[in-house]
Amino acid sequence: MFEKVLMIVLIALTISIIAAIYRVVKGPSMPDRVIALDMIGINLVAAVAVISVLLKTYAFLEVILLIGILSFVGTIAFARFIERGVVIERNRDN
């Protein structure tokens, strides 16, 4: 039963991810896509947590934080890129 619930949760997360992918593909604007990507990352975090429970292992708990980190860094990079046209600035004052 518990495993069935976990499967349902996973499938729901997948649907959620697919919806986000739809937004990624559809856009229409860059920020739309980035927001959707961010959400994919967040859902992945959830998915990995569920999978860890499903597999009864701690081995993937690192993955959770890691996805969080990468998703954050990625979103910031995108935001910078959209805002300034560059990702890393040489000097903020000019």
Partner 1 sequence: METLMALLIGVLFTIGTYLVLTKSLLRIILGTAIIGHGVHLLILTMGGLKSGGPPLLGVDTLSFTDSLPQALILTAIVINFAVTSLFLVLAFRTYQVLGTDDLNKLRGSEDE
Partner 2 sequence: MSWIHIMILLPFIYAILVPFLYKLYSHKLHTGWFVMPIPVIIFIYLLQYITPISSGEKIYTTLAWMPSLGINFTTNVDGLSLIFGLLITGIGALVILYSIYYMAKKREALHNFYIYLLLFMGAMLGLVFSDNIFVLYVFWEITSISSFLLIAYWYQRPKSRYGAQKSMLITIFGGLAMLAGFIMLSMMTGTNSVQEIISQMNDVTSGPLFVPAMLLTLLGAFTKSAQFPFSIWLPDAMEAPTPISAYLHSATMVKAGIYLVARFTPVFGGAVEWFWIVSVVGMITMIWGSFYAVKQTDLKALLAYSTISQLGLIMSLLGLGSASMAFGFTEESAMYTVATGAAMFHLINHATFKGSLFMVVGIIDYETGTRDIRRLGGLMTIMPISFTLSIIGGFAMAGLPPFNGFLSKEMFFTSVLRASELPIFSMETFGIMFPVIAWVASVFTFVYCMILIFRTFAGKHQPERLEKKAHEAPVGMLIPPIVLSSLVVIIFFFPNIIGQSLLKPSLAAILPGFTQDGAFEFITKIEAWHGFNTELFMTIGIVIFGTLLYLSHKKWSSVFYTLPEWFSLNSVYNAALEKSETVARGITNNYMTGFIRDYLVYIFAFFSIALLTCVWVLKGVSLDISNNAPISIYEVILVIGIVISALGVLFSKSRLTAIISVGALGYIIALLFVIFRAPDLALTQLIVETVTVALFLLCFYHLPEFKKEHSRVRFRITNLIISLGVGITVTLLALSAQGNKLFEPISSYFENSYELAGARNMVNAILVDFRGFDTLLEILVLSVAGLGVYTLIKLRKQGSGTNETE
Partner 3 sequence: MNATVIIEVSVSILFLLGVSFSLLSSFGLIRLPDVYTRSHASTKSATLGVLFTLLGAFLYFLLTDGYLSVRLLLGIFFVFLTAPVAGHMITRAAYLTNTQTDRLVFEDKEEEEKKTNSSASS
Residues of this chain that bind partner 1 (CB under 8 A)? 55, 57-59
- Per partner kind, with CB cut-offs from 5 to 8 A, the member of partner 2, partner 1, partner 3, none near residue 72 is partner 3
Secondary structure (3-state) at 17: helix
Under DSSP, the state recorded for 93 is: T
Q: Kindly report whether the peptide bond that precedes residue 28 is cis, defined as omega within 30 degrees of 0.
A: yes
Minimal CA–CA distance to 74: which of 44, 34, 43, 45? 34
Contact positions vs partner 3 (CB under 8 A): 1-2, 5-6, 8-9, 12-13, 15-17, 19-20, 22-23, 29-32, 34-36, 38-39, 42-43, 45-46, 49-50, 52-53, 58, 61-62, 64-65, 68-69, 71-72, 75-76, 78-80, 82-83
